[in-house]
Amino acid sequence: MGVTGSIGRQTLEVLRRSDRFELVAVSAGRRVEDLVAVVEEFRVARVGVPDETTAFAVRERLGSSVEVLVGASGLAELSRGADVVVNAVVGFAGLPVTLATLEAGSRLALANKESLIAAAPLVEAVRTTPGAQIWPVDSEHCALHQCLVGSSDSEGRPDVERLWITASGGPFRGYSRDQLAAVTREGALAHPTWQMGPKITVDSSTLMNKGLEVLEASALFHVGVDRIGVVVHPQSIVHSLVEYVDGSVLAQLSAPDMRLAIAYCLGAPERLAQHWGQMDFTRAFQLEFEPPDRLNFPALDLAYECARRAGAAPAWLSAANEIAVEAFLNGVLAWREIVPLVARVLDQYEDRALESVEQLIEEDAQARALAHGNLPS
Ligand code: MG
């Protein structure tokens, strides 16, 4: 789901190198030509699109040979019809995919962290469906998953001391307050080590992505955020680490390449022999680690605070951030105002439990409206 985006296209590259899979359904936003090309290449029978206009355009190009489903209910319907679903939809819109896949008792290869973060209590409820599994595509969580093999999930992983999530530090690592005040859209979109979509690339520049990943790891692995640390690692070779109670630390290494994580999630429990992100130990190289700059990158502590508040706070964080990043990408908001805007929205949040999808949709809309109201006019 989300086949024309960055993760979607890389998933197709993994599929092209394997004969183990049949692509039965895809969804996309409004890139009709890209979607049609995928359907024709992989002979896909079912397609999901966001609205009737796009559906009309797709039907006109492909005729009655494919079934076209529309909107969130279409996404959910498609997600119920596969053994493995890759959720690469951007943002909160990926929620129906996450919930429907788990409710159907299938394997969810999750690249859409927002749905898990915003809806953690609701996702937790459907994860107990027999057969339902979440395999994380997010590179840090995929690394943690690999390092946690053999660790017990019962009672909050008693053998684990701490999870360490690595951060590249983004394009503005080491910048002073003054330098950060002058950063541009182009600067924020130039990630030093990873090629990704624009939303997550901006999130990496503010460290909000890392904050969201702390929440994601906590929900995925049932480890409290006070046992999850962030360490800056500019080379993006070590994708995350697990520190065990005996002092031993396990790390997962590769050159930065999302296709490795995608292949891991698709092939499991076996590994696909595809060699993505292969390391070269025959030449010299260095790995560096340093603590994050929490003063100039306040998104990190804001995310920890939301994790401790739980309930609907993570949903508000994620929703307000989506609006702030969109405003930044549209030239409406300065980079240094992204995180303060999210913080102002959260100032208006009062603690409450998150109990239903209907409530979550309301919470999401409320946080978005407040974020819009806080944008400069
Ligand atoms: Mg990541």
Share of the chain above pLDDT 70, in %: 99
CA of 140 to the centre of ligand 1 (A): 5
pLDDT at 154 over 70: no
Going by pLDDT thresholds of 50, 70 and 90, the confidence category of residue 245 is: very high
CA of 64 to the centre of ligand 1 (A): 39
Comparing CA positions, the residue from 223, 246, 197 lying closest to residue 141 is: 223
What is the DSSP code (8-state) at residue 91?
Answer: G
CA of 259 to the centre of ligand 1 (A): 13
CA of 134 to the centre of ligand 1 (A): 16
CA of 61 to the centre of ligand 1 (A): 36
pLDDT attached to residue 196: 80
CA of 323 to the centre of ligand 1 (A): 20
CA of 138 to the centre of ligand 1 (A): 5
Going by pLDDT thresholds of 50, 70 and 90, the confidence category of residue 92 is: confident
CB count in 10 Å sphere of residue 245: 11
CA of 212 to the centre of ligand 1 (A): 9
- Pairwise CA distance, residues 303 & 307, whole Å: 6
pLDDT at 157 over 90: no
Extract the tokens encoding 173. 């690592």
pLDDT attached to residue 320: 97
**Tens of pLDDT along 187-226?**
999 988 887 888 999 999 999 999 999 999 999 999 999 9
- Pairwise CA distance, residues 85 & 318, whole Å: 23
CA of 45 to the centre of ligand 1 (A): 31
CA of 196 to the centre of ligand 1 (A): 10
CA of 213 to the centre of ligand 1 (A): 7
Which distant-in-sequence residues (6+ apart) come within 8 Å of 218 by Cβ? Answer: 224, 225, 228, 307
pLDDT attached to residue 5: 94
- Pairwise CA distance, residues 217 & 267, whole Å: 21
CB count in 10 Å sphere of residue 56: 14
Strand (E) or helix (H) holding 136? strand 133-136
- CA distances to 126, 235, 349 from 143, rounded to whole Å, are 24, 15, 33
CA of 312 to the centre of ligand 1 (A): 22
- CA distances to 210, 289, 362 from 113, rounded to whole Å, are 11, 25, 19
The structure's pTM equals: 0.94
**Tens of pLDDT along 30-84?**
999 999 999 999 999 999 999 999 999 999 999 998 999 999 999 999 999 899 9
Which distant-in-sequence residues (6+ apart) come within 8 Å of 368 by Cβ? Answer: 319, 320, 322, 323
- Pairwise CA distance, residues 109 & 145, whole Å: 12
Please give the span between the terminal C-alpha atoms of the chain, in angstroms, as a whole number. Answer: 35
Alpha-carbon torsion, ordered 260, 264, 270, 273, to 10 deg = -10
pLDDT at 126 over 70: yes
Question: Which of 3.30.470.20, 3.40.50.1100, 3.40.250.10, 3.40.50.720 is the CATH number of 6-136?
Answer: 3.40.50.720
Mean pLDDT of the chain: 95
CA of 10 to the centre of ligand 1 (A): 15
CA of 113 to the centre of ligand 1 (A): 9
Q: Is 118 exposed, middle or buried (0-12, 13-18, 19+ CB in 10 A)?
A: buried
CA of 242 to the centre of ligand 1 (A): 16
CA of 193 to the centre of ligand 1 (A): 12
pLDDT at 114 over 90: no
CA of 35 to the centre of ligand 1 (A): 25
What is the DSSP code (8-state) at residue 20?
Answer: S
Angle (CA) 104 6 48, round 5°: 45
Return the domain boundaries, the chain. Answer: 6-136, 143-253+278-310
CA of 60 to the centre of ligand 1 (A): 38
CA of 340 to the centre of ligand 1 (A): 22
pLDDT attached to residue 63: 92
CA of 160 to the centre of ligand 1 (A): 21
What is the DSSP code (8-state) at residue 25?
Answer: E
CA of 67 to the centre of ligand 1 (A): 33
Going by pLDDT thresholds of 50, 70 and 90, the confidence category of residue 271 is: very high
SS3 243: strand
CA of 143 to the centre of ligand 1 (A): 10
Candidate from 15-29, 72-86, 178-192, 329-343 with smallest mean pLDDT = 178-192
- Pairwise CA distance, residues 121 & 181, whole Å: 37
- Pairwise CA distance, residues 179 & 194, whole Å: 22
- CA distances to 207, 246, 278, 292, 335 from 241, rounded to whole Å, are 18, 14, 19, 16, 30
CA of 137 to the centre of ligand 1 (A): 8
Strand ranges (E), 28-106: 46-49, 67-70, 84-87
Q: What residues pair up with 70 in beta bridges, in sequence order?
A: 49
CA of 236 to the centre of ligand 1 (A): 10
Q: Is the torsion defined by CA of 303, 172, 237, 139 positive or negative?
A: positive
